[in-house]
Structure 1
Amino acid sequence: MNWTLSNKITAMRIILVPVFVLAFYLPAPLSYYASGLIFAIAGWSDWFDGYLARTRGEETAFGRFLDPVADKLLVTVALVLLVEAGFASTILVLIIISREIIIGALREWLAERAVVVHVSQMGKWKTLTQMFAIEGLLLHQDFFGFPMHEAGTGFLWLATFLSVWSGYEYLKGALPEFRRG
């Protein structure tokens, strides 16, 4: 296994998950800012490690495996904590997490059939809106007069819509493989 810089950054994102959980349970309002900051760092590291991998020619099979694991772990843990705290809708979070499980399984099944599935543009927009939603919901209160919780809730609705839409696109793209059996 090749531990490139981008793979190390991805691994750091996984290590940040328990730190994020601990920060989430700090007393409010410290928890809002600490968990929000950690989530923001982890979220930006997702973009940064991908950028490094592409520009430095460091794309590896291990990185292609680890990166979505780190992303899904961080997002799922954050969404579950937000539901537990009463900051996010259970139904919306269930839809988002269900989509992630279904599409993750689909991608694995397609990989076994030697079918390469690239991340769609809609999938990228879905991820970006999820990050904005989670960040707003983590901050939870007005930030310099801006209603972060309300903005986060709006982005969560948008992320849910984009999750369903991009999930549909992936399933539609896999239809020929379904027909082959």
Structure 2
Amino acid sequence: MNIANKLTLFRIIILPFFMVFALAKFKYSAIIAVLIFLVASLTDLFDGYIARKINQTTKWGKLMDPLADKLLISTALISLVEAGSVPAWAAIIIIGREFAVTGLRSLAAVENIVISANNAGKIKMVAQIVAITALLLKIPFASIALYIAVIITVLSGYNYFRHYSFVINEIGGKKDEM
């Protein structure tokens, strides 16, 4: 397993530790949760960069990196809903968008079409990281950051579906070949 894939795997492995600290109530638990969350977020930044830089992209990495991202954001949002810091509707919109885009990517993969992350998806991820960090630290603008993240999440999802609607139209009309 190369270094990029190890970073992706590390991001997944530290999620339970993040959740424990995100839900704990002792003095520095929120700060520890934020540190774990930011380390996990940074691994997302570096794993793809390293894989491309040293020419070690793998099928495993292409599959697991987006999954690790979704697990990171979903774990954080569910923890924050449990803690009463995020309304469930906001978490459902964000997590639902992640499932929808993953479904679109799966449909595209059936036709050997690769849907890569675009700038809107990257901006969405940054907005979500900022909002989750602010919510964990109970910063005054945290709710506004969350609403901005929800709006950007919806817009980026719409962008994917608008741009790749041909995938749905093409596959939607095909019969299964058995």
1:16 paired residue number: 14
Provide, for residues 2-33 of structure 1, a one-character-per-residue CA deviation record: whole Å limited to 9, x for no partner.
x1100001100000011111222332332111
Q: Does 1:151 align with 2:130?
A: no
- Of the candidates 143, 159, 171, which is equivalent to residue 169 of structure 1? 159
2:89 paired residue number: 91
Task: Figure out how many residues of one structure are paired with residues of the other and give that number.
Answer: 171
- The unaligned stretches of length 5 or more in structure 1 are 141-147
Q: How does 1:62-77 map to 2 (within 5 A)?
A: 62-77=60-75
Q: Aligned-residue CA RMSD in angstroms?
A: 1.2
Deviation at 1:77, TM superposition (A): 0.8
Distance across 1 between alignment mates of 2:124 and 2:96: 14
- Of the candidates 77, 80, 83, which is equivalent to residue 78 of structure 2? 80
1:61 paired residue number: 59
State the one-letter code of the partner of 1:156: L
Normalising by the residue count of structure 2, what TM-score does the alignment of the two structures yield?
Answer: 0.91
- The unaligned stretches of length 5 or more in structure 2 are 174-178
State the one-letter code of the partner of 2:151: F
2:114 paired residue number: 116
Please identify, of 90-99 and 17-26, the stretch whose mean Cα deviation from structure 2 is larger. 17-26
Deviation at 1:39, TM superposition (A): 0.4
State the one-letter code of the partner of 2:54: R
Distance across 1 between alignment mates of 2:11 and 2:66: 11
Deviation at 1:115, TM superposition (A): 1.1
Q: Secondary structure at the match of 1:44?
A: helix
Q: Secondary structure at the match of 2:14?
A: helix
State the one-letter code of the partner of 1:152: A
Normalising by the residue count of structure 1, what TM-score does the alignment of the two structures yield?
Answer: 0.90
Please identify, of 150-159 and 37-46, the stretch whose mean Cα deviation from structure 2 is larger. 150-159
Identity of aligned residues (%): 36
